[in-house]
Chain A
Amino acid sequence: MQPLANAKIETAQESDLLLRSLETAVMAIHTVSADGTILWANAAELLLLGYDRAEYIGRSIVDFHVDRAAIGELLQRIIRGEKIRDHEAQLKCRDGTVKTVLIDSSGAYREGQFWHTLCFTRDITGRKMADVQLRQQASEASGHAQLYQASQTELTAQKHATEALLESQARFQAFLDNSAAVIYAKDLDGKYLFINGWYEKLFGVKSADLLGKTDFDFFPKEQAEIFRENDLHVIRTGKSLEVEEIARKGAVRLTFLSIKFPLHRSDGTIYASAGISTDITTRIQGEEASRRLAALVESSDDAIIGKDLNGIITSWNKGAERIFGYKAQEMIGTTIMRLIPTERSDEETAILSRIRRGERIEHYETVRRRKNGSLVEIALTVSPIKDVQGRIVGASKIGRDITDRRRLENEQRAVYELLTTVNRTTNLRAIFEESLKCICTCQRVDRASILISDSRGILRFEAWRGLSDTYRAAVEGHSPWARDDPAPAPIFVEDIDKARFDDALKAVVVAEGIGALAFLPLVYEKRLLGKFMICHEKPHIFVNSEIRLLQTIALQLAFAVERHRTSEALELLVDERTSSLREAVAQMEEFSYTVSHDLRAPLRAMRSYSQALLEDFAPTLPEEAAHYLHRISENASRLDKMILDVLTFSRIARAELYLEIIPLETFVRNIIENYPTLQAPLAEIRLQPLLPVLGHEPSLTQAISNLLNNAVKFVPPGVMPKIRIWTEKRGPDVRLWIEDNGIGIKPEYQHRLFSMFERINPTSRYEGTGVGLAIVRKALERMGGRAGMESDGFNGSRFWIQLKGIERESAAS
């Protein structure tokens, strides 16, 4: 703006024109003094509220606000220098209505002192309102212009022109600089004559830099062209124009509602276009959001219902229409109780009282009644609706139809139960029953059957629900697939009437009252095991999701049937194997018997004849012959002993074992007493107190006597065998140790020790068959124990056997 000192008549005239323009501007503007008195208001403001100038100007602004306290406080803030933007207020109109407006306001100052407020009031009751205003505005514009022309003349006449102009100029300065709209004037070429401070705020270009330049210097060409076009329209027509303009400058993109109007010289010719452009970007976005929200509500599958605290319906969307069957016009203004089944009428009272307390109710699952009387399962979410003051005035209710979800849940549960049954039991009856239940649940029918292929490949009824004997007898044996079809496909007869198959069969099906049928083959590894059938009363379209579910059931059923067959076959096989094993055992026993009787006889004879020769012909026998006869006899004895040991081994290996508590100490003592070789003076045995074990007496006797005999046998010549015996607790087991002072066994041989016919020492030095330790190991294995040994190969050996101990003993110790 040009400094006041340089005010020329032309400038004054320009300011005057702008003042008149503000007076006729579409935006409501007023000024208020520090005590709240309305000093001035333009036509738009008076029009907005419906008052005459006299009814409005000079009165307190507080009288026109619904919230008196708020406006008083707002005024104080402005006086303190605060700039107010988008303050929402409610204004009382002359006709008694209340308008909701947004106020932008700031203080105007004169010589550093607060002068008055400058308030721009935007009606947000609707943009339509602005349109009406505009049209009225346009018709009144010329009238107002004349009025102000007259007022100007009067001022001149009073010779206060200069003062008036100065004041006018100052007021304008304040108006323009504090306006939250871009206010500008451009000459006929589009060069800026004037622009206010708001422009700078929005686009960061100083107003002074714009003067003399056009929009083409600041905006992209396409935009500048549009601005120019609008300006030219105003100049050409001489009429004001309301238009939405988009201004883009760098990253800033703003939408303006521009009121453009011509500026006339006193002779009526147009010399400029002017405009007031209000930034409505936020409002547009808000409206957009509301529109989207409204569309969302309308298109939602869920029922979205508004109601007041008395349960009276205030809004009703398409989703509600779809779920409940009532139209919006049928429901709005009536009670929500129409939807609630009588037995649940208490629910609404409870919901409303929770809403009154400000609570939100989420996923409340309940049942409501449709227009046609049927029930629908729904999940409700109910939230309180608050008014501007935050008071709860109603509730929004979102209802989701969960009938489908319930159905899905039931289906899933049925399939899950079938899977569990199939996994838990091999009982085909139980599996068939569960399958029928599952099929009927998933298809919502009460008739189904399961047929299984018999040994001749004919499908026979195995389980069924709701099918007559006549029907079953008539259809049994009919199969839609060949017996050897490797990939039989499911068959769906959606409408019996229209289906083409055997007339006689069709008659039976129709007589049974069946409208639709499905046959699902039970296939396992390309073999048709059977099928299941579903009977619908009425024609039925089998959709993909149903078919997939039925195929899952078929798969499980086929698996169960096959598993049952396999297990039957397996049992048969086990029976066969068991009997052949029994036979083998019997043969083995016979073989042992033969060995023990027949194999030993020739050895006995060899020994006896050798003995007889030695005894009867001793005097005539050469010494060498006698020696040979001894060797024959000894070898026969040795072979006989080996046979006996092998027999012992095989007896222990197959004997039926029963374990009993064996008091090891007396047990070992008895064994020692049976063998003179284990007693003094041939051997010295030190027996420590021994823990009892669980064992099989004959097997344990065999094992311990073998170990003890080994212990005394393998000593260097001339050494007196010394043996120490003790037990040791090892967890639940007891280990019996037998330590000797014998020749020991080198570690490298120890692994061979317990094998059959293994001998570490040459036969010549230590007599033995090589079966003794194999018997020990086998006996321990059979009793659930273990055997082992330790030796460094020089200082004797420590053999051990380990068996289950007796818990009682461990508790006592």
Chain B
Amino acid sequence: MTTSSTTILLVEDNEDDVFIMKRALKKAGIVLPLQVVTDGQQALDYLGGKNGFADRSQFPLPGFVFLDLKLPNIHGFDVLAWIREHGLLESMRVIVLSSSAETKDVEKALSFGAHAYVVKPPEPTQLISLIKNS
């Protein structure tokens, strides 16, 4: 269920890709609040409410997580595994963002519990169908 306050968490270390994502959301007309973290550890801290992310009013649990795979420190798959282990897959939709279109990568992401797999760059139409239709 998406509300106007449903937060989107973007886990992405590449600032160009952050720019592309923001622009695509804008073009898609999606105005939900966006939080950006730039590595795997920060993602875990945010989701676990630790290390400066404890304030849920400021850093609410997201309804959508756009997760890049190739991240510094902790890999995207490990973040995905953590989310699954903490039973968070029920309450949030995890969309893997990746440069790779390799079947192997897609299959692996879906098998880890990702709800969707988007090959970069994300297109506004894709985002609309992912967010508005969920």
Residues of A within 8 A of B (CB): 593, 596-598, 600-602, 604-605, 607-609, 612, 644, 647, 651, 698
Contacts and interface: CB of A to CB of B under 8 A. Distances in A.
A389 B99 CA distance: 116
A612 B23 contact: yes
A612 B22 CA distance: 12
B121 interface: yes
29 contacts: A596-B99, A596-B101, A596-B102, A597-B70, A597-B98, A597-B99, A598-B70, A600-B99, A600-B120, A601-B17, A601-B99, A602-B16, A604-B16, A604-B17, A604-B20, A604-B120, A604-B121, A605-B14, A605-B16, A605-B17, A605-B19, A607-B121, A608-B19, A608-B20, A609-B16, A612-B23, A644-B101, A647-B102, A651-B102
Chain A at the B interface: SS class = helix
A651 B105 CA distance: 13
Contact of A601 (B16, B69, B103): B16
Nearest to B104: A651
B23 A608 contact: yes
Interface in B63-100: 69-70, 98-100
A602 B19 CA distance: 12
A607 B16 CA distance: 11
Nearest to A593: B100
Contacts of B14: 601, 605
Contacts of A604: 16-17, 20, 99, 120-121
Contacts of B19: 605, 608-609
Interface residues of B, number: 16
Contacts of A605: 14, 16-17, 19-20
Interface in B1-50: 14, 16-17, 19-20, 23
Given A596-B101, A597-B99, A600-B120, 18 more contacts: A593-B100, A596-B102, A597-B98, A601-B14, A601-B17, A601-B99, A601-B120, A604-B17, A604-B20, A604-B99, A605-B16, A605-B19, A608-B16, A608-B20, A609-B19, A644-B101, A647-B102, A651-B102
Contacts of A600: 99, 120
Nearest to A607: B121
Nearest to A643: B99
B86 to A, nearest CB: 26
Contacts of B70: 597-598
Contacts of A644: 101
A120 B14 CA distance: 141
A596 B120 CA distance: 11
A614 B76 CA distance: 33
Contacts of A607: 121
B102 A608 contact: no
Contacts of B16: 601-602, 604-605, 608-609
A596 B100 contact: yes
Contacts of A651: 102
A612 B27 CA distance: 11
Nearest to B13: A601
Contacts of B69: 597
Contacts of B98: 597
B121 A608 contact: yes
Q: Which of A600, A602, A647 has the most CB of B within 10 A?
A: A600
A601 B98 CA distance: 10
A612 B120 CA distance: 16
Contacts of A602: 16
A600 B101 CA distance: 11
Nearest to A611: B23
Contacts of B102: 596, 647, 651
Q: Which of B20, B99, B120, B121 has the most CB of A within 10 A?
A: B99
Contacts of A596: 99-102
Contacts of A698: 103
A604 B98 CA distance: 12
B94 to A, nearest CB: 18
B100 A597 contact: yes
B84 to A, nearest CB: 22
Contacts of B23: 608, 612
Contacts of A593: 100
Nearest to A592: B102
Contacts of B120: 600-601, 604
A609 B23 CA distance: 10
